Structure 1
Amino acid sequence: MATIQRRLFHQTLRALSHENPLGLPKSGSIPRMQRGLPERRKITGVEKIIAVSSAKGGVGKSTVAANLSLAFARMGYRSGILDTDIFGPSIPTLFDLDGEPRLSSQNQLLPMSNYGVKTMSMGYLVGADAPVVWRGLMVMKALQQLLHEVDWGGLDVLVLDLPPGTGDTQLSITQQIILDGSIIVTTPHTLAVKDAVKGINMFKMVNVPLLGLVQNMSLFNCPHCHHDTAVFGSNDLVKEICRQHSIELLGDIPLHQNVGGDGQKGKPTVVSEPDSDRAQAFMDIARLVESKVGLKR
C-alpha cells in the first residue's frame, strides 16, 4: 500500500510540475484554451510588467518591490505597483495610503497614488484589520479583479508584488499575464536561498524570463567601527546559486535599520533617503532591469 501511495504522489507531482496544472496533454499544435489554459495577455495600458517574488516570507520582498517601483518613477517612467497578496497586503502601509479607490465611468478601479507611483491592493478594498477568510475560488476572483479591472491610465512599467511561495496566485498570474520578467528576492540565509531555488525553477517551468536575484540584508556595516558583518551568512551561497542557474545577481541591499524603518513610516528609502547608499542600491537594480526588459523613456 505504501508503494502505491508513493507512486500516486509522484504522479501528481509530475502533473503539477507542468504549465498545465490539470496534467492535460501538452503539444505545440494544441492551443492553450484546448489544454485548459487561458490565453496570456498584457494588462491594458501597461507597457512592461515585472514580477517580484520570493518563495519564502520575511525576506523583504515587498520592500524591494516598493523601492523598485519608486526607482523607476525617479528615473522618469510612469510607474505603478500591484499588490497581489490577497491575505497579507503590504503596499498600503509602505506607501502610506488608505481608504477605498474610486471607480471610473467604465466601473474600473482607479489606482491610488503617492510619491509619483500608482498603486492598487486588496488592502484598499477590505478593512485594515479585517482578515480575508476566503476559499480558493473567492481568492481567484479577487485576483482577476486586480489584474483586469484596474484603469492604470497608461504606465511604462508595472511591478507585481507577489505573495510568498509558488502556489495558486503565482500559477494563475503566470498563466494569464504576459510577464516581461521576474525577480527573486532572497537573503543570504541558507533556508531562504534553498527556497529561492524553488522560485527559480517555478519561473523556468512556466516560461517566464528570470531577470535575476536580489540579495536583501546582505551585509551589516557597524556605524561605530564600520566593520562589515554577514549577519545571515556568507554571500557566496547566493553567488553560487546564480552561477549554477546561469542567472544574474542584480544587486545587494545592505542590512540597515532605515530600510525597514522607512517602509514602516510609509516613506520607502528611495523617497526618504534618496542620496543614501541604500537608495543607490535600489537605483542600480532598477537600471539593470531597465536594460534587460527594454524600458524606454
Structure 2
Amino acid sequence: MYLTPKVAGSWNLHVLTQHIDLDYFVLFSSVASVLGTPGQGSYAAANAFLDALARYRQAQGLAALSINWGIWADTGGMAISLGHWVDRLIERGISTFSSKEGLATLERLLQCDVAQVGVMPFDAQRWQQFYPGARIPYLSMLVQPADTETAAPSLREELLAVPAGRRRRTLLETYLREQVAQVLRYPAAQIAVDVPFATMGFDSLMAVEFANRVSTDSTLPMAATLIWTYPTVEALAVYLAERMGVSLDEEATAAQAASSSSTVQPSVVGEGLDDLLTRIAGLSDNEIGNLLERTTRL
C-alpha cells in the first residue's frame, strides 16, 4: 500500500529531474523510518527509501531534503496512514503540531543544507520507557539519566514491602490489571484475573506493549509470548513472582529462602519453546554453567 507508490514515485521524479538544476527537491518522509512503528513495517521501509534517496542525490551534487515529519494535528498524512496507532504514539512521547507550525518549519528547513531532518515534538525518555529493547544510540543524548535518589521503587521492591500472602498477591495482580487496562484502554475495574488475555482482545502488538511495560517495571526481560503461555492475570502473576524471587504465599516464604541459593532448574515438561527460551534468558552465567556441567555428566 505504501511501499510501491513512495519508492516508484520518488525514484521516477528523481530520474526525470536529475538533469535539471533544481533549487529544491523535498521529500515528505516520516518519523516512522527513524523510530519505527509497530505493525507498520512497509510504511517505515517506504519512508526509509525517501531518506536514502535524499542522501544519494546530495552525494551526486543534486538538491535534496527528506523531512521525517511527526504527526500533523489538522491534516491527513501520518495520522490517516497509522489510524488508531496515532493515539498510542502520542501516549508514548510523540506529540502533534499544527499546520502553521509545520509550514513555518518547512520554510526554515529550505534554507538548510542537510539531506535529512526529523520534525516532531518528542519525549525521548518516555519513548524508551515504552520500548526499552529498542534503544537508539543517537537518542541517548536526549535521554536524561535517572535520578537514583528519587527513582521510584521497582516492582519487586514494592512487593517485598508487603507481607507475603493475600495482600502481596493482590498487589501484584492489581499491578498487572492496571497494565492490561492501559494497553486495552479499559477501566482496570473491568479486567478480571481469570479471563484469558485473548478473550479480552489482545493481539500480537498489544502483547509486545504489555511485555515492555512489565519488563520496564520488573527490570527483567519479558517475551511478548508470555501472555499466551500464562494466559490470565492470575497465572502470569504466579510466574512473574517466581521470576522475581518473590513468594506470594506465607507458607512458601521459608522454603523459598532456604532454597534461594540452589541452582535454578527450570522444568521444560509441558512448556512451550517460547517459555523455555524466556526462562533461559533469565538465568545467570553461573546458573547456566552449572546446568551445562550437569548435562555433560549424564
Name the TM-score class by shorter chain: under 0.3
Structure with the largest fraction of strand? 1
The TM-score, its normalising length taken from structure 2, stands at: 0.18
Larger Rg: 2
The TM-score, its normalising length taken from structure 1, stands at: 0.18
Structure with the largest fraction of helix? 2
